[in-house]
Chain A
């Protein structure tokens, strides 16, 4: 037993190294930790089989209130049952989250935290860094637009670049805190580059919606039509389904 064979568990082979969640190559699906969405077909289309468990996800819609929040309700309900209890932060939502509907969908009210602010980026970062939030939902659209209008048009370019750097900070904060953050942005910002882990466009249809992934690490490229009727709440066991079984880095 003096010789170590190349494929013994103590010797990391290239294959095993490439399984590390921080490494992603070209077209292969990234092995990131994910949270189940509640819709099987969407899970299959997303890299890793669900929403990124730690990272920025952007959902772009023509305007708010088209049904994009329903994508996350199953996740909110499931995270609401997780222990220890952590907040679900709603940062500058466009309307008032309606408590009776949330309760009816199984989202526990006592864990919802609504924050109204003109500076959502700061609040999001605080929420991500606090370690007290299980999920952060944030709406950038209205504020980005209003602050842009308030300033002179010459400042629009700098505004854009500050927004990009704010997004980069947020993406890093999600990694640090291992918290998923969902950013709802207007569709006309789709052309801007973004450091987000996942970007998708949502358009409502009659009984569901159409999802198109703009940016993902090896996700499905064709648009996906989903129906609300096929959604159900992911249970706690399924929630962490995409999570890698073991961390190669820890073993070495």
Chain B
């Protein structure tokens, strides 16, 4: 088959259906078998600098037309997810086109699968094995592939400059535009894509909107179409229902052990860790007990999870005996491994350990995540806003001393809330100040204060301030510990 012949046959096969060729539509052109080694894909253009090849997959029959609205979403998206995970075996660039289609960019995989035709055949085979019937098409732009697939499917177009010709006879309905736009175009006698593409651009945009023009540009590849890629969401989920009821924490833990080992294997084979682990304990006639374990860094060792879960369980009072336990992981995180030291810290001359997240995790497992924090510096002049709570270890890197020493003296301790002092101040002796700190109109916490350093009868140095606004109250704000 020569190049010209094939293109024309493809074109013929996808003429709009209302041109009274129903038989041809039902029996699309068979794909040339990949055994024809002498069939190189010549349809490629030299003008296309970054060629892409998109396959659109439309599961058949389109469920969305038959089922009530609520059900459709679930079924369809589940089917698409499944299809996407199959497609993931052929390319890493898979994109969902809800509600009913899937797009995958396969240009990079041609070499591996022995060309476009071979790849398409293998992909279809794989889908058929999974019990999914499809309409499909391959084209240089996602929208064109989708349009060709919607029009009836099964064509391969690799070159962008051929695209307009292939698309021209298709009905406008394949673009999935709103019905009134299609109706208006129909009213002016534009019924095919070819006719729409021939319209003057400015006028087209004015009448039918920029979006419609952009869609046409994307269809032919004149405008790029960035797509959000589908990321396969992998989670660990396992449950166990022992034959008896668990009433003690230690039994729950024992029952949990095999699940945790399973989790470790799951993570190890994927070279990932998790930073969120959810445990659900189901009771009879009671709402389940939930434990969410958040980790400071991605982890994978069952031992570690067990230790932390044991800590959390020991804090917990089981409302009733446990019938079923369920373990679910959060999203997988890439794992950064490093070797552990040979010696335990303290062994052999107190070799230092690293600042490790393990300590923070253990403390947080028992005390709650808000009870363990680091400090950070905020460039602010109001004393209470100049510091903040930060995730441990991510505080501001130290400011060079020279800049900070220019600042006037600050106390080592700050009171959480300024404490009102009796106005007489008979016990305090002012030894420093005043330092005026003012304004904060931009966030509504305006201050106008004169700060003094005072010494009380016990000899402690205090940081006190006097409101500049009447009634000029005195407050204790810090202690120079």
Interface positions of A (Cβ within 8 A of B): 53-54, 62-70, 73, 80, 82, 84-87, 93-106, 108-117, 122-123, 126-127, 130-134, 176-179, 203-206
Contacts and interface: CB of A to CB of B under 8 A. Distances in A.
30 contacts: A53-B350, A63-B458, A64-B481, A65-B462, A65-B481, A67-B459, A84-B353, A96-B416, A97-B414, A98-B411, A99-B395, A100-B377, A100-B410, A101-B411, A103-B396, A103-B404, A104-B401, A109-B377, A111-B395, A114-B372, A114-B374, A130-B345, A130-B356, A132-B353, A132-B359, A134-B352, A177-B346, A178-B350, A204-B461, A206-B459
Contacts of A82: 352
Interface string B144-171: 0000000000000000000000000000
Contacts of A54: 346, 350
A65 B460 contact: yes
B352 A84 contact: yes
B185 interface: no
B392 interface: yes
Contacts of B367: 115-117, 123
A112 B374 contact: yes
Interface in B378-418: 383, 386-388, 390, 392-399, 401, 404-405, 407, 409-416
A201 to B, nearest CB: 13
A122 B311 CA distance: 12
A186 to B, nearest CB: 13
Interface of B: 344-346, 350, 352-356, 358-360, 362-363, 366-367, 370-377, 383, 386-388, 390, 392-399, 401, 404-405, 407, 409-416, 458-462, 478-481
A101 B344 CA distance: 35
B396 A101 contact: no
Contacts of A110: 374, 393-398
Contact of B374 (A62, A109, A133): A109
Q: Which of A64, A104, A127 has the most CB of B within 10 A?
A: A104
Contacts of A86: 352-355
Q: Which of A63, A99, A104, A205 has the most CB of B within 10 A?
A: A99
Given A102-B412, A103-B399, A104-B410, A114 B345 contact: no
B353 A66 contact: no
B481 A84 contact: no
Given A102-B375, A110-B395, 11 more contacts: A67-B459, A93-B413, A94-B413, A99-B375, A100-B387, A103-B398, A106-B401, A109-B398, A117-B371, A131-B356, A177-B346
B409 to A, nearest CB: 8
A54 B375 CA distance: 26
A123 B411 contact: no
A103 B481 CA distance: 15
A177 B351 CA distance: 10
Contact of B407 (A96, A104, A203): A104
A103 B377 contact: yes
Contact of B413 (A62, A96, A179): A96
Contact of B376 (A64, A69, A109): A109
Contacts of A178: 345-346, 350
A70 B356 contact: no
Given A101-B411, A131-B345, A115 B372 contact: yes
B415 A96 contact: yes
A237 to B, nearest CB: 16
A104 B404 contact: yes
A105 B460 CA distance: 19
Given A110-B397, A122-B366, A131 B353 contact: yes
A202 to B, nearest CB: 10
A73 B481 CA distance: 10
Given A67-B460, A73-B412, A86-B352, A126 B346 contact: no
A104 to B, nearest CB: 5
Q: Which of A53, A73, A98, A204 has the most CB of B within 10 A?
A: A98
